[in-house]
Amino acid sequence: MPQASQPVIEALQWRYATRVFDPGRQIDAATWSTLEQALVLTASSYGLQPWRFLVITDAAIRSELRPHSWNQNQITDCSHLVVMLKKRVITAADADRLIEATALTRGIEASVLDGYRQMIQVDLIDGPRSQTIGQWSANQVYIALGNLLTSAALLGVDTCAIEGFSPPDYDRILGLESSDYQSCVVCACGYRSSDDKYASLSKVRYSAADLIEHR
C-alpha cells in the first residue's frame, strides 16, 4: 500500500550516514527479513538484477575486512554488514535466465519474449556497452543501495553507505576472485549509538529550487 507523504519525508529527514553504531543492539530477524526483501524487489535495467548481496554477521570476517576499510568502526560495530556485489560480465546465459524466469512467472511462452531477449543481446552483450559493462552493473547496484537506505529509514534502522574500502582485498577475503561477481559498495546497518555526534547535526541539502527544474 502507498505510504502517506509525511512519514516518508520524516524518515528521510531522520536518516543520516551513521558514524557510530551501538554494537550491543541488533536488528531483529523480522525487520532484517523485510530489508532483504526490499533488496530483492529493487528495480534494475531490463530486470536483469546483476548483483549479489553478502550479509556479513561473522565477527571474525568483519575484523579481517576492517583494515581494508580505512579502519572504519562501522564495519565491526554495526548489526549487519552488506557487501553489495556487481556482476563482472553480462552473458547470453544471464539473458536466457531472465527470459525463462519471466515466462515461468507470467505463464507465457518464452518465444513471446524473443524481441526483448534480442534487445539485451544487442545492447549489453554485443553492443558498445559490453565494453563498459562493469560500470553498468555498478549503476544497478547503486539503485539497490539507495533502495536499502530508504527502506531502512522507513523501518527506523540506521545505515551508512561505505565506498572507502579496497575491493580487491574484499574479493580476496570473501573468496570472490574467481567468481562472476566482485565487491562494489558496502552498507553498514544497525542502530546509532547515543555517542554519535553526527546524529544531531542539521542535514545539509540544497533547495528544491536549486535542484529541480520544471519544463
**pTM, 2 dp:** 0.96
Q: Would you state the pLDDT for residue 36?
A: 99
d(CA 43, CA 77): 30
Stated as kind and residue range, the H or E segment containing 52 is strand 51-56
Percent of the chain with pLDDT over 70: 99
Q: 3-state class of 144 per DSSP?
A: helix
Domain boundaries of the chain, sorted by first residue: 5-88+137-201
Q: 3-state class of 204 per DSSP?
A: coil
Four-CA torsion 98, 185, 53, 43, nearest 10 degrees: -40
pLDDT digits (tens, 9 = 90+) for 96-138: 999 999 999 999 999 999 999 999 999 999 999 999 999 999 9
Q: Would you state the pLDDT for residue 122?
A: 98
Average pLDDT (170-179) is: 98
Q: Would you state the pLDDT for residue 76?
A: 98
Q: In what order do the strands lie in the sheet with 51-56?
A: 51-56, 80-87, 181-190, 158-162
Q: Would you state the pLDDT for residue 4?
A: 77
Dihedral pair phi/psi, residue 66, rounded to 5°: -55, -45
Q: Give the pLDDT band (50/70/90) at residue 5.
A: confident
Percent of the chain with pLDDT over 90: 98
**Residue 2 pLDDT > 90:** no
Query: Which CATH number does 5-88+137-201 carry?
Result: 3.40.109.10
68 is written with which cell numbers? 581494508
pLDDT digits (tens, 9 = 90+) for 56-90: 999 999 999 999 999 999 999 999 999 999 999 99
- Please provide the average confidence, as pLDDT, over all residues in the chain: 97
Q: Rounded to an integer, what is the distance from CA 41 to the centroid of its chain?
A: 11
